[in-house]
Structure 1
Amino acid sequence: MNNLSKRALQLSLLVIFPFLSYAQKPNWFNLDLKTDTTFGISTEKAYAELLKGKKSKPVLVGVLDGGVDYNHEDLKRIVWVNKREIAGNGKDDDKNGYIDDIHGWNYLGSAKGSVAHETLELTRLLRRDRKKFENVDAVSVAPADKEAYEAYQKMKAKYDEEVAEAKGITANIEGFKNVVDGVVKKIGKENPTLGDFQSFQAVTPMETRIKTVLISQLQEGGTFKDFYDAQILKGLEHYKSSLDYNLNMDYDPRPELVGDNYADSKERFYGNSDIKGPDASHGTHVGGIIAADRTNNLGIKGVADNVQIMGVRAVPDGDERDKDVANSIRYAVDNGAKVLNMSFGKAYSWDKAAVDAAVKYAMSKDVLLVQAAGNDNKDIDKETNFPNRKYLTGETAAAYLVVGASGPKDDETLKADFSNFGKTAVDVFAPGVNIYSTIPEGKYASFNGTSMAAPVVAGLAALIRSYYPKLTALQVKEIIMKSVVKVNHNVTYKVGEEDKSVPFSDLCISGGIVNAYNALKLAATYK
C-alpha cells in the first residue's frame, strides 16, 4: 500500500490531477464580460447585435488532432463530407492518393489498425542515439560528435526526471485512492453524498484531509462517482500510461500499425480513413468548441455557425510525429481548409524541416494556422516548443496564431495556472478553463487546457472568414490581434513554490483576450 506523503497532501488537487475542472456556466466561453460578468469572448452578443440577418459562406476548418467522432449528435451536421469520394468502395475515387477519405484522413494507421499510444519525442530521440552514446564518456567522444553527445546527455537527464516524476505522482494518486477507498468503506455507500462526507468522523489527519477535499469538490457539483472516475481513476490511468508507453524506450507501435518508411519525410500516402481512431475524446472536444451545431437545441453551441470540420488524425496518446504533422497540414490545405486548429505541441523535434515546409505551403495557400501554447506553465520565449512559427532559416510564418488559456474571472487568476505564455511567442489568450464540449458517443464533458483555448480562436477565425470571405488569412490574424480586450492588471502564476505577479501584457503579444464582438466590428471596416 502506498501512503500519501506529507508533501503530496500539501499539493493542490489540480497539481495531482491536471484533469480537474471547476463549476462554471457550460457556455461561459461564449459569454460577455460586461453583460454576464464572465470573461468569455462575447460570441452570443456578436450574433445578437452584429450578425442577425447577415449572409455567410461555409468555411472548412481542419481539426488536426487525435480523432473526431463524426457521428456525434452535435457534430454530424457540420462534419465535412468529401463529395468526390464514394464511401466504402475501397477506391480512390477523387484520385488524391487516399482511399475512402470521406471525412478526412488518419495518418496513424493502416489496414492493420490504428496507433493509440506512442512514445514521447524525447524517448524516440534517446532510442535513436543511445547505441552511439550510451557507453561513451565525455573524454572519449569524437570531436565531431561532441555537440550531439552533449545534447544526448541533456535529454537523458530530462528523461530520467520525467520517469521519476511519473512514478512519484502515480504513487501519490494510488495513496490518495487508498485513503479515499477506506473512507468510503467506512461510510458504507458506493456513491456517498455531500451530506455523507460532512457527517463522516475522520480519525487520522489523512482522513481529515480527504474529507475536506471531497466536501469541497461535491459542493462544486457532480457526484462522488463522477469525481472518482474522472479524477482519481483517470489520473492513475494517465500516469501509468505515461510509464507503460510514453516513456517506454522499448515501445514502438509504428512499424506494425503504420508500416511507412519513417525515414522518408516526403512520403505522403499512408494511413487509413478512420478519423475517429481508438480515442477521439480530445479531437471531438476541440471540434465542438469550434463549431458544435448552433441550430439543433442540443448540447452546446460552438463559436462558428457556418463551418464544416475536417478530421485529420495525427496526434496519439504521446507525442505526435513531425512527418504526420507535415502531412496533416498538407492534406487539410489540399482539401480546402482555410483554418487549421493544432491543439498539440512538444519540447523536441525530429524533423522540423518537414513541418516548416508544410507550414510554408499553408502560408502560400492563404490558410491561417492556430496552435495551442501548451500546458506546462512555461515561458516559451525561453523554452522550446514544437511546432512553431519560426523556420530553421530564421524567417517566420505570418498567418500563424499561438494561443494561451484564460479563466472566467477578470482578476489575478485570469491566466490559467497551467498555461504556457511568452511575450513574443504567444499571440493572444482565450478561454481554456472548464470548457464544456462534445466527447464521443453523444456525450459531453468539461476539459482544461490551451487545447481548448486554441479552438475558441480557430472558431473565431472561421467565423470572420465566413462572414467576410474576401479577407486574407493575414488580415484575419490582424483583426483578432487588434480586437482583443486588453487586460490592464497583474495576474499571478507559480514559479516553483512561489507566486509571481506580473502584468498580463507580459504574457503575450496582444496583451489581451480575444473577443468575437470586437473582431467582427473591426472586420466590417476592412476593404
Structure 2
Amino acid sequence: MNIVRQRTGTDSAYKQNLYGSGIGIAVLDSGIYPHPDFMNHGSRITAFRDFVNHRQTPYDDNGHGTHIAGIIAGSGYLSEGKYMGMAPRAHLIILKILDSKGNGTAETVCRAIEWTVRNRSRFHIHILNISIGAKAGEETTESRMLMDAAEYAWDRGLTVVAAAGNNGPASGSVTSPGTSKKIITVGAAHEITVPEHPSSSCLFSGRGPTRTCICKPEILAPGFRICSCGHLPAHPYVIRSGTSMASPVVSGGIALILNKYPDLTNKEVKRCLLKSARPLNYPKSYQGWGFFHIPECLDGRCGSH
C-alpha cells in the first residue's frame, strides 16, 4: 500500500490534513475481520450486516472483504504505517454478501444495496464499493439485477465504485455491475512507469466496450500484488491481485476528495476523476480516461460547480 499511495499521490491529501474523516464507505463483500488496523483508537467499523449467515458481530470467513477494507481505510497500525489504506480515518459499513468460498447471489446483493440506501443518512454513507461482479457476456437476469441495484444506489446520491472484473484481456469482458454507464468502473494497472509495455500481470483486467458501446472502465488504479489486511491473527497482512483491489483504491481516494469537498454530487466526483486521470499509452478499452491521480482532484477543479 505504501507504493499504491505514492503512485496515486495521496500525500497531497495528507498534507492538507485530509484522511477521510466523517466519510462512510459501504463495502459489499465477504465481511471483515476486526483487525487492529480498524480498531486502534476505537473501532471504525460503524455497522456490520450479515446477509449470508445472519451473525451479529464482524467476521470474515473468506478474507477478501478484509483485504478490500484495508485498502480503503486501514490505519497501518501493525505495520507502522507501511500498509496504511487510502483513507485511514474514514469509517466502514460492512455488508457481508459473500460466503466462505467467495460466492453470492444477485438477490443478496440487491438486499444489501437496498439496506445501504435506506441507512445512508444514519451512518453518513457517501461511497459504495462493489468488488464483485457477474460474469461478462450475454445479459442475464443476474447481471441485469446487479446493474439495476447499483444504479438505484447511484440515483439516490451514493458514489458507486465497481471493479471491472478479471476476465480480460478480451474485449467486452467487463463484469456487471461495472457495465453500468452511470457508476465508476475501475480496471487494474500494475506498472505506470513504462506505459508502452503493459504488464502481463494485469492482462486479467476487464476490457470494454460494453454491449451498448459504453467506454468501460473509466479509470485504472493499482491492482497487482497489493498488500493489505489479512483476516487471521497469524497473517496480519496478505498480498492479493485483481480489479477487486483496484476499485477500493479509488473508493478510498474519493473519500479524501469528499473530505475536502463534502458537497460534491456523485456526478461531479466522476467528472473530476475523469478530468484528472493521467492518460497512458494503453487502448481506451483498457484504460478509459487513464490512471487515477489525486493531486489534480484537490487543486480546486473538484470544488468548482
- Please name the residue that 1:44 is paired with: 11
Deviation at 1:452, TM superposition (A): 0.5
The AA in structure 1 aligned to 2:74 is A
TM-superposed CA distance for 1:275, in Å, is: 4.0
Structure 1 pair 274–355 and aligned structure 2 pair: CA distance change class (3 A): farther
Contact 2:165-2:173 within 8 A present in 1 as well: no
**Aligned residue in 2 for 1:303:** 86
1:262-294 CA distance string (max 9 Å, x none): xxxxxxxxx333442422x11111111111126
- In structure 2, relative to structure 1, the CA distance for the partners of 1:384 and 1:47 (3 Å cut) is closer
- What secondary structure does 1:323 align onto? helix
Indicate whether 1:403 and 2:193 are aligned: no
| Cα deviation 1:306-359 (Å, max 9, x = unaligned) | 310111011232542010111111222222221111111121744455434433
Which structure: larger Rg?
1
Residue 129 of structure 2 aligns with which residue? 341
- 1:293 aligns with 75
Q: Distance in 2 between matches of 1:384 and 1:434?
A: 21
Q: Which one has the bigger strand percentage?
A: 2
Contact 1:74 1:299 in 2 (8 A): no
Which one-letter code corresponds to 2:5 in the other structure? N
Aligned to 1:413: 198
Change (3 A) 1:482 1:379: farther
Aligned to 2:175: 385
CA deviation digits over 1:116-170, x for unaligned, max 9? xxxxxxxxxxxxxxxxxxxxxxxxxxxxxxxxxxxxxxxxxxxxxxxxxxxxxxx
Sequence identity, in percent? Answer: 25
1:476-517 alpha-carbon deviations (Å, 9 max, x no partner): 111111111111x3xxxxxxxxxxxxx44342431x100011
Greater mean deviation of Cα atoms: 410-419 or 329-338: 410-419
**1:107 counterpart = 2:51:** yes
Which amino acid in the other structure matches residue 75 of structure 1? F
Does residue 218 of structure 2 align to residue 432 of structure 1? no
What is aligned with 1:518? 296
State the superposition RMSD in angstroms: 2.5
Name structure 2 gaps, 5 residues minimum. 210-214
Q: Does 1:30 align with 2:5?
A: yes
Partner amino acid for 1:340?
L
Aligned mate of 1:323, from 90, 107, 114? 107
In structure 2, how many angstroms separate the alpha carbons of the residues matched to 1:448 and 1:356?
24
Distance 2:154 2:231 in 1: 32
Does the 8 A contact of 1:326 with 1:355 survive in 2?
Answer: yes
Q: Does 1:358 align with 2:141?
A: no
Whole-angstrom CA distance in 2 between matches of 1:55 and 1:352: 34
Q: Which amino acid aligns with 2:284?
A: S
Change (3 A) 1:409 1:333: same
Contact 2:165 2:243 in 1 (8 A): yes
Q: In 2, are the aligned partners of 1:468 and 1:523 still within 8 Å (CA)?
A: no
The residue correspondences of 1:216-227 to structure 2 (distance < 5 A) are: none
1:83-104 Cα shifts (integer Å, max 9, x gaps): xxxxxxxxxxxxxxxxxxxx32
Name the CA shift for 1:107/1:413 in 2 (closer, same or farther; >3 Å): same
Q: Name the structure 2 match of 1:445.
A: 238
Q: Alignment partner for residue 473 of structure 1, among 251, 266, 273?
A: 266
SS at match of 1:278: coil
Distance in 1 separating the partners of 2:295 and 2:77: 20
Q: Partners of 2:160 and 2:20 in 1: how far apart?
A: 21
Q: What SS does the aligned partner of 2:38 have?
A: coil
Are the counterparts in 1 of residues 86 and 249 from structure 2 also a CA contact under 8 Å? yes
Pair 1:368-2:151 in alignment: no
TM (norm. structure 1) is: 0.50
Instruction: Choose from 277, 287, 290 the match for 1:484.
Output: 277
* Bigger helix fraction: 1
Structure-to-structure mapping, 1:122-141, within 5 angstroms? none
Given that 1:78 and 1:307 are in contact with CA atoms closer than 8 Å, whether structure 2 keeps it comes out as no
CA contact (8 A) 2:20 2:90 kept: no
- One of 286, 297, 305 as aligned partner of 1:507: 286
Change (3 A) 1:303 1:293: same
Where does structure 1 lack aligned partners over 5 or more consecutive residues? 1-25, 32-39, 82-102, 110-270, 391-395, 490-502
* Alignment equivalent of 2:55, drawn from 269, 272, 280: 272
1:59 to 23, 28, 31: 23
Q: Secondary structure at the match of 2:45?
A: coil
Q: Taking structure 1 as reference, are residues 373 and 333 closer, same or farther at Cα in structure 2, changes over 3 Å only?
A: same
